Amino acid sequence: MSEGYTVAVVGAGMVGDRIVAELRRRDFPLKELRVLARTARRETLAGEEFDVGVAEPGAFEGVDIAFFAGTEGEKGAAVQLADEAISRGAVVIDNGSDFRMDPEVPLVVPEVNADALEGHDGLIANANCSTTQMVVTLNPLAREFGLEKVVVSTYQAVSGSGRGGVEALEEGREGVYPKPIDRNAIPLIGGVGNDGYTTEETKMRLETRKIMGLPDLDVFATTVRIPVHTGHSESVYAELGRETTLEEVLEVFSSAPGVVFSGDAEGFPTPLEAAGDPGTFVGRVRVEGNVVQYWCVSDNLLKGAATNAVQIAEELVGVRV
């Protein structure tokens, strides 16, 4: 389509800002770009000034693709407005967790399951940030060797909690985390379920199974918030379907889509280096029998949110950048 698409971004927070940046950087074919939030105002996103409109049903007239990056839950943007956007002809790509586990809604990380987009009903879910980077790195291993069990510990940045998280770290804002985040590590992300796992840990288990099409995969997660601005890190332990060698695993990582292999043991990636880059970085790879361990880092606002969402839109309209 030479004219491009009318696109709405709902939410002018950390993720909304990066969606605008990724649409521009990847040269997504745009006819019009609207930014919507709770209140109308003039605001700069990704260095560009917008007349932000109020997110209400009529604001979706004429919209082809609507990226939702508002808050979650009953009063959140997606629950309130996704149907309104779809009924006006838009395809909704939702960054929140409200619809991810709905069996009718594709949950998509394009490197892993772009084919799940076929037959969508107007609503597509973007995965949780910590899950996205993990499945980008696990999927090539699963394809080559099979995958039986995953144990992961995360080291998650405060921007994963939106503007409030950044304010908690930089300005000491209270009420965002259960304990101070500055000079600390908080092993509790979200509420705790009856099984003792937090919502973030349960998301990692259930979303990984859905995206990878492995409904019985054992996934054991411990998710931890640390005082890093942007970039989630993960220590991943994976039991494969067969024994392998370091050489074989490095070859798989080197050619895996979306994976940036950071070299041998000393070439480890860190969040400071990964922030601002859309790739998923892997380093510290160790192999013993059928066990692979590695360190994985990615920008939670980019591949963990905006880049993945824009990639989904590219798949939908058939453009690849």
Kindly list the residues in this chain that would bind ligand NAP in the complex (CB under 6 A): 10-16, 37-39, 55, 69-72, 76-77, 80, 95-96, 129, 159-160, 162-164, 300-301, 304-305
Least CB distance from residue 15 to ligand NAP, whole Å? 3
Cβ proximity to ligand NAP: between 95 and 154 the closer is 95
Is 232 among the residues known to form the active site? yes
Is 129 among the residues known to form the active site? yes
Least CB distance from residue 278 to ligand NAP, whole Å? 13
What Rg, from alpha-carbon coordinates, does the chain have?
A: 19
Least CB distance from residue 13 to ligand NAP, whole Å? 2
Per DSSP, the three-state class of 266 is: coil
Cβ proximity to ligand NAP: between 160 and 271 the closer is 160
**Separation between Cα atoms, residue 279 and residue 261, nearest integer Å:** 10
Catalytic position from the list 120, 129, 229, 296: 129
Strand residues in 228-308 grouped as ranges (E): 232-240, 259-261, 280-288, 291-298
Residues 6+ apart with CB under 8 A from 34: 6, 7, 8, 9, 53, 59, 63
**Separation between Cα atoms, residue 236 and residue 228, nearest integer Å:** 19
Cβ proximity to ligand NAP: between 158 and 252 the closer is 158
- The sign of the torsion formed by the CA atoms of 38, 13, 313, 308 equals negative
Least CB distance from residue 302 to ligand NAP, whole Å? 9
Cβ proximity to ligand NAP: between 65 and 141 the closer is 65
Read off the tokens for 51: 């007349």
Catalytic residues: 129, 232
